[in-house]
Amino acid sequence: MTDRPPNESPTCAVKDVRGLGALETLQANASGFFQKTLDAHGSNMVCRAGCSACCHVTLEVFPSEAGRILQWALGLSPDARLVLKAHLLRAKEQGGTFGLDAAGKKRSPCVFLSDGLCGVYEARPILCRTQGSPLQLKKDDGKGNVTLEVDACPLNFQTPGSLPPPAEWLDLERLAVLQVLAERQFAAADNEGLFGPRPKKERVALSEVRKLLLDLLG
């Protein structure tokens, strides 16, 4: 009997994920932006490992971001796979335990959250990388007047006057355009069928990704 290669399991349908270069760059830039904010304004932020209020959320992501999580898992060492599998099974067990989100509302945890930590942290979606940064939104009053507004985690920048200036806000409109471009690269790379047909919604639930990951990990 031959040994099975470390990337394969009897039930795993996912063997390879392609076309993720643009997304990886964008994810790295999003993390870099957050780190820059933390370096400059950390004294007014409470983001830290274990603060998981923003992870009490039910997420659907672009197929490329779902693919990125699977690609990351495919590249893990056998030991790291065991750690990930144990984390995912714990997260599954703890799934019914409500927690408070950053606004103090009772919510279910993300399917990747266990003991306050993210199991797929290195491959987490862009949305997760930008939490904590000041996020710039455009508001149109319908009469041609557009103003810039900012959204930020209510746990951060609580001291009056501590919010970073507009030049340091993350432009969500620009980010969305870049994310669509990254998604196109992924779609053009023939990953068809990875998440099955989805005629109405173009998003993948993270619960679906966890299921695929557990299949992949055997």
**What is the contact surface with ligand SF4 in residues (CB under 6 A)?**
46-47, 51, 53-55, 57, 59, 102, 110, 112-113, 118, 120, 124, 128, 131-132, 153, 155-156
- Give CA–CA dist 13/85, Å, rounded: 17
148-180 as b/e: b if 16+ CB within 10 A:
eebebbebbbeeeeebbeeebbbbeeebeebbe
In the complex, the smallest distance separating the C-beta of residue 59 from ligand SF4, rounded to whole angstroms, is 6
41 is written with which tokens?
Answer: 């304004």
> Closest distance between ligand SF4 and the C-beta of residue 209, in Å?
9
Report the residue number, 114 or 191, with the smaller CB distance to ligand SF4.
114
Cα–Cα separations (whole angstroms), residue 134 to 37, 77, 142, 154: 8, 36, 25, 11
* Closest to ligand SF4 by CB, 137 or 188: 137
Q: Among 130, 180, 182, which residue's Cα sits nearest to residue 21?
A: 182
Q: Are 100 and 53 in contact (CB under 8 A)?
A: yes
Helix-helix angle 21-41:63-74, to 10 degrees: 90
Q: Give least dist CB 145 to ligand SF4, A.
A: 30
Task: Tell me whether residue 91 or residue 182 sits nearer to ligand SF4 (CB atom).
Answer: 91
CB of 215 to ligand SF4, least distance (A): 18
The Cα–Cα gap between 98 and 164 comes to 32
Shortest spacing between CB 178 and ligand SF4, in angstroms: 19
Which of 108, 105, 136 shows the shortest CA–CA distance to 206? 108
Which of 95/144 has CB closer to ligand SF4?
A: 95
**Based on CB atoms, which residue is closest to ligand SF4, 6 or 42?**
42
Task: Report the residue number, 74 or 113, with the smaller CB distance to ligand SF4.
Answer: 113
Q: What is the smallest separation between the CB atom of 43 and ligand SF4, expressed in angstroms?
A: 13
